[in-house]
Structure formats: structure tokens, C-alpha cells
Amino acid sequence: MRTVNVGIIGLGTVGGGVARLILSHHDDYVASYGIDLAIVRACALEPEAARACGIADEAFTTDWHDVVCDPSVDVVVELIGGEHPATEIYEAAFAAGKHVVTANKALLGRHVEQFASKARENGVQLKCEASCGGGIPIVSTLERDLVGNKILTIAGILNGTTNYILSRMEAEGADYADVLADAQAKGYAEADPSADVDGFDAASKTAILASIGFGTRVTTDDVFQQGIRTIAAEDIAQARELGYTVKLLGIARNTPAGVDARVHPTLIPIDHQLAKVAGAMNAVYVVGDAVGETMFYGAGAGSFPTASAVVGDILTLADPISKGAEPLPEPEPFKQNLPVRPMDELETKYYVRLKVADRVGALAEVVGVFAKNDISISLINQVEDAASDGDACSVIFLTHKAVEKNMQAAAAELAGASCVSEVANVLRIEDVSAWTEGVFEN
Ligand code: HSE
């Protein structure tokens, strides 16, 4: 057995957890797997960050080059996030023949193919279990355990911050702004919440999972993205009354018309497994044509849950290294290049909330706009509540399946209609029964 040398770049919440986990379980890994892990280099801004984790002073550096250029390092663990210098770290590590483990979803969401190819060219691996769903073992599940399937659907609650906000809005009937402010005060949401609430984080994760699950190139730019800022307490209450809950989902579907990849607030039936995922927890629902429905639930963030995923990747690489062999090079990234279906072509049902003038003919005018855009209404509900102000009242419309392009055209037309004072929200209602289309019959 030879010692496997690890170099960690970044000792924040995740990096600190990784160091603590490796150091506290060192003897267990030796006893259980015959793997002796040593943290030989650790890069952070301050030496206290390393000392707090129990890392020896001589391993500490403030310069990432010291980690990547150390000939004894077998595995480089990048946990600083962001595009730079993470990109340079990968390039230098691959060129030096070192494997890379990362949780960097923003970078991989855009460039997973490019980095996987670079790793392959250099005979090493790039592993990213922690990039999606924190501690949930979903990347390796898609890469390995479900490979006998054609993966049909991946639908995930991939962002804990937004699920926490939506769950509290639903439980308390509270407004978005109040819950966000409280979440920020308690440290559950970032001071600048954009990456979470505008859907960037979930879009990166959706791109990575779709790429791996479907074996094709899907980048963050291919993922339609809409966040939760416009969701009002009234929408959540109305959805609930109609039998739905509102979740920010990352949805990727492998359809005959191409890959459908999107992140947006979605109405799903309250009895669906994903509807029951509350608070900051994450869940990934995966349908394979053989396995059918599966769901993976767990902490999507946090020091030790994310460290669990990172250390799992390190041990996977360390297993052959400790026995004197090299892990196989990164496999060829994608053998397919499936088309990505434009969002305009999506066909789904919609929930529309309008503020409409309370006068004769107003509803007829609105229905006329829907009809003109080939959108058929399945339900109209005029809401008698405090939100109704003066001459305007809130009206909820549910539609039959319609085409996204038509709905956007109708929404734009309604926004300019004299009888409509506000198009308060247009939300998609997911047809969850379509998620299992293509599963083999037993
Ligand atoms: N900011 C993310 C979330 C965690 O709220 O889920 C890290 O991906």
C-alpha cells in the first residue's frame, strides 16, 4: 500500500469539511479500504484556516501553484469555485498528470466537455460528484449504476436556498421579500442572492446532470432559466387550492424532439414525491427506461454533506493509486450530440394570474387574447380577496397544453390590453405523467 497524497485548494466551508473528514477517518480508510490518504498541501488565504482543520503548518500555502506543482501530489482538490483561477488550476493539474476533484458547478456547467477532454488527453480524471446535489450521490449514480438505462427524465430540487424560501412562503403564507430578508439575516441566503434566486445555480447543476445522464453536450447556456423573484404568497395559495405546490425545478428530458432543459418555478401535484421535499433539502428524481422512477434525497449543501461527496471522489481515485496502479483516464465525454429543443417549442399547461378591470367585457377580452394565440382555457377563477384593489380584481386562468411561444405572445398582448392592469404571473404546470413516458412495461 502506498500513501495517496492530496492537495486541497480552498479551505472554506467545503474545503474545511473535506480536510476534517479525511483527518478524522484516516485510520478507518486504512482499515476498511487499505487507503492511506495524506493531505500534503493545503492552500488558503490565511494559515488559521488550515490550523483550524488540523492541517500541519508545513502543508500550508497561500499560492495554488505550490499545490499543483508539488510532484508528490496525486489528487488536486479544487474548492474555491468561480472561473479563475479554477480554470488555470485544472489546466496545470492535468498537464502535470494529476487528477482533479471539484465541486465547481458554475465552471463545469459551462465547460464540462472541454475539461473532461483535457483530462482524458493527459490520462487523468476529473471528478465532480459534489457539484450537483451536495451530498446526494447522483453523479456517480448516473455515470455508473444507471448506465444500463436510457435516462428519460431528470427533475431536481437542486437549490436549497430557493426551496427553503418557497417552503416557508407556503407554510407561513408569507411574501417572498420578507422570507428572503429573514433567510439572509439567519445566514440561509447570501447577501447577494442572485445565483440562487435567479436560477443560475440550479441551471449549472441541470446542465451537468443532463450532460452526464443523457451522454450529450448540454451547457448552462442551453438551459432556460427563470428564478423565483416574481412568486407571490397569492400564487402559492392559489396553486395549493388547485392541488399544486410551487417548486423551483431543474428539469431535463430526453425526448424524441431533443433535449428539453429548463429551470423555472413549476406547479407540480402536491402528492408528487418532489412536492414533499421541504426546507433547504435537495432531491433528484430520475426516470430510466428500465428502472422506472427513482428519487435521491439529501442535503444539497453544508460542510460535511458536501465533503462526503468530495471525499467519495478522492477515495475512488485513491483506490487504484494506493495499490500502485493508475485510475483509467477520463472516458470520452460525449458520444452523442443530441439537439437541444428551443424553449419556444415547449408544450405545457400554464397558470396565469392577471389583475383585470372589474367591468363588463373584460374577461371576454382576455379570453379573446388567449383564443387568438391558440391557447385553450381549462379554468377561470376570479379571486375575491384582499389583493383585489378598487376597480381591478385578480383572476386566475389555467390552460390546457399550449405552446410556450404562444403563451409568451399572449402574455405580451395582455400586458398591453386596456382591461389588464398587470400580468402578475405566468407559471408552467408540469405534466408529471409525461416524465415516465418510454419506460419499459413490466
Ligand atoms: N447555494 C446552493 C444552494 C448550495 O442554495 O443550494 C451550493 O450549491
pLDDT score of 389 = 60
Q: What cell was used for 166?
A: 418557497
Please state, in angstroms and rounded to a whole number, the distance separating the CA atoms of residues 228 and 133. Answer: 19
Please state, in angstroms and rounded to a whole number, the distance separating the CA atoms of residues 222 and 252. Answer: 11
Given ligand 1 and candidates 102, 196, 197, 249, which is best to mutate, with the most ligand atoms within 8 Å of its CB? 196
Any atom of ligand 1 within 6 Å of the Cβ of 160: yes
State percent of the chain over pLDDT 90: 95
Any atom of ligand 1 within 6 Å of the Cβ of 163: no
pLDDT score of 335 = 83
Q: DSSP 3-state assignment of 22?
A: helix
Pick the atom of ligand 1 nearest to 300's CA. Answer: 6
Pick the atom of ligand 1 nearest to 160's CA. Answer: 6
Pick the atom of ligand 1 nearest to 105's CA. Answer: 8
Do 19 and 11 meet the contact criterion of CB atoms below 8 Å apart?
Answer: yes
Any atom of ligand 1 within 6 Å of the Cβ of 159: yes
Given ligand 1 and candidates 161, 304, 308, which is best to mutate, with the most ligand atoms within 8 Å of its CB? 161
pLDDT score of 332 = 87
Which residue minimizes the CA distance to atom 4 of ligand 1?
Answer: 301
pTM across the whole model? 0.97
pLDDT score of 388 = 54
> Which residues, given as ranges, of the chain have pLDDT below 50?
none
Which residue minimizes the CA distance to atom 2 of ligand 1?
Answer: 159
Given ligand 1 and candidates 159, 184, 198, which is best to mutate, with the most ligand atoms within 8 Å of its CB? 159
Tell me which H or E stretch contains 168.
helix 160-172
Q: What cell was used for 422?
A: 398587470
Q: What cell was used for 373?
A: 394565440
Q: DSSP 3-state assignment of 53?
A: helix
pLDDT score of 390 = 67
